[in-house]
Chain A
Amino acid sequence: MNIDICIVAFSQSACVAQAGAANEVELIMPQLEAVYGQVGISNAQDVDFVCSGSCDYLQGAAFAFVAGVDALGAVPPIQESHVEMDAAWALYEAVLKIRMGHAESALVYGFSKSSPGELPVVLSQQLDPYYLAPQWIDSISLAALQARLMLDKGIIKASDMAAVVASSRRCAMDNDKAQLAGQFSISDLLEEPEYVSPLRKADCSPISDGASAMIICTRSKAEEWQVPFVRLSGIDHRIETHNLGMRDLTTSHSTRLVAEALSIHNSSLDIAELYAPFSHQQIILEQALELQAETEINPSGGVLAGNLMMASGLSRVGEVFNRIVAGEAERGLAHATSGPCLQHNLLAILESV
Chain B
Amino acid sequence: MDNKNKEVIDAIEAPIYLKYKFTAGLAPARFLSQLKQGVLTGQRCPKCDNVYVPPRGSCPACGVATEEEVVLGDKATVQSFTIVSIPIPGNPIQPPYIVANLVPDGANISFIHLMSECVNEEVRIGQRVTAIWKPREEWDFAMDNIRYFKPLDEPDVPAELIGHLSVNGTEN
With contacts A21-B24, A23-B24, A23-B26 taken as known, whether A121 is within 8 angstroms of B58 at the C-beta atoms is no
A26, B63: Cβ atoms closer than 8 Å: no
Please tell me if A59 contacts chain B, counting CB pairs below 8 Å.
yes
Residues in B neighbouring A133, C-beta threshold 8 A? 14, 16
Closest partner residue, chain A, to B23 (CB atom): A21
List of B residues within 8 angstroms of A122 by Cβ: 18
CB of A182 within 8 Å of the partner chain: no
The reply to whether the CB of A73 lies closer than 8 angstroms to some CB of chain B is: yes
| Nearest opposing residue in chain B for A57, CB measure | B18
CA distance A70 to B23 in the complex (A): 17
A117 and B19 form a contact (CB under 8 A): yes
- The reply to whether A116 and B56 contact each other, CB–CB distance below 8 Å, is no
Contact indicator A75/B60 (Cβ below 8 Å)? yes
Q: In the complex, what residues of A have CB within 8 A of residue B112's CB?
A: none
- Bin chain B's interface residue count: 20 to 34
Does A43 lie at the interface of the complex (its beta carbon under 8 Å from any beta carbon of B)?
yes
A74 with B24: in contact, given A121-B18, A134-B14 (CB under 8 Å)?
A: no
User: What 0/1 readout, one digit per residue, does chain B (5-40) give for beta carbons within 8 Å of chain A?
Assistant: 000000000101011111111111100000000000
Q: How far is the CA of A75 from the CA of B48 in the complex (A)?
A: 12
Q: Tell me the smallest distance from the CB of B23 to a CB of chain A, in Å.
A: 5
Would you list which residues of chain B between 78 and 133 have a CB under 8 Å from chain A?
none
Interface residue? A67 (CB, 8 A): yes
Choice from A26, A57, A74, A116 contacting B26 with Cβ under 8 Å: A26
* Contact present for B25 and A23 (CB under 8 Å): yes
- Return chain B residues, CB-CB under 8 Å to A19: 23
Shortest B22–chain A CB gap in Å is 6
| A149 contacts the other chain (CB 8 A) | no
Residues of chain B with a CB closer than 8 A to A26's CB: 25-27, 57-58, 65
Of B21, B24, B61, B63, the contact of A115 (CB 8 Å cutoff): B21
* Contact residues, A57-87 vs B (CB, 8 A): 57, 59-60, 67, 69-75
B143 within 8 A of partner (CB): no
The answer to the question of A329 belonging to the interface, with a C-beta cut-off of 8 Å to chain B, is no
For the residues of A in contact with B, the DSSP-based class is loop
In angstroms, how far is the closest chain A Cβ from the Cβ of B77?
23
Residue from B16, B23, B62, B65 with most neighbouring chain A CB atoms (10 Å): B23
Q: How far is the CA of A44 from the CA of B19 in the complex (A)?
A: 35
State the Cβ distance, A112 to closest chain B Cβ, in Å: 13
Which B residues touch A154, using CB under 8 A? Answer: none
A 17-40 contacts with B by CB, 8 A: 19-23, 25-26, 29, 32
Please measure, in the bound complex, the distance between the C-alpha atom of A342 and the C-alpha atom of B46, giving whole angstroms.
45
- State whether the Cβ of B159 lies closer than 8 Å to any Cβ in chain A: no
Q: Which residue of A lies closest to B47 (CB)?
A: A73
CB-based nearest B residue for A75? B61
Complex Cα–Cα for A134 and B60 (A): 40
Is the beta-carbon distance between A25 and B18 smaller than 8 angstroms?
Answer: no
Residues of chain A within 8 A of B26, CB atoms compared: 21-23, 26
Residues 270-281 of A, flagged 1 when their CB comes within 8 A of B and 0 if not, give 000000000000
Contact indicator A22/B18 (Cβ below 8 Å): no
Q: With A23-B26, A43-B63 as given contacts, are A70 and B21 in contact (CB-CB < 8 Å)?
A: no
Say whether B64 faces chain A, with CB atoms less than 8 Å apart: yes
Q: Does A174 contact B (CB under 8 A)?
A: no
CB nearest to B59 among chain A residues: A73
Judge whether A125 is part of the interface by a CB distance below 8 angstroms: yes
- Knowing A67-B56, A73-B62 touch, does A116 contact B25 (C-beta < 8 A)? no
- Residues of chain A within 8 A (CB-CB) of B23 are 19-23, 113, 116
Closest Cβ–Cβ distance, residue B59 to chain A (whole Å): 8
Is A29 touching B65 in the complex (CB atoms < 8 A)?
Answer: yes
- Assembly CA distance A26 to B55 (angstroms): 12
How far is it, in angstroms, between the C-alpha of A133 and the C-alpha of B12 when the chains are bound? Answer: 13
Contact code string A116-133 (vs B, CB < 8 Å = 1, else 0) = 111001100100010001
Complex CA distance for A74 and B59, rounded to whole angstroms: 10
Query: What residues of B have a CB within 8 angstroms of the CB of A20 in the complex?
Result: 23
**A44 to B58, alpha carbons, bound, how many Å?**
14
Q: Which of B20, B24, B29, B62 has the most CB of A within 10 A?
A: B20
Complex Cα–Cα for A43 and B59 (A): 13
Residues of B within 8 Å of A57, CB to CB, are: 18
Q: Could you tell me the distance between the alpha carbons of A29 and B25 in the complex, rounded to whole angstroms? A: 13
B56 x A25 contact (CB < 8 A): yes
Given A20-B23, A70-B60, list of 6 further CB < 8 A pairs? A19-B23, A44-B63, A70-B57, A71-B63, A74-B63, A116-B23
B-side residues, CB < 8 A to A, are 14, 16, 18-29, 56-65
A and B contact pairs by CB, cutoff 8 A, 22 listed: A20-B23, A21-B24, A23-B26, A23-B56, A25-B25, A25-B57, A26-B57, A26-B58, A29-B58, A44-B63, A59-B20, A60-B20, A69-B60, A70-B57, A70-B63, A72-B63, A74-B61, A74-B63, A116-B20, A116-B22, A118-B19, A121-B18
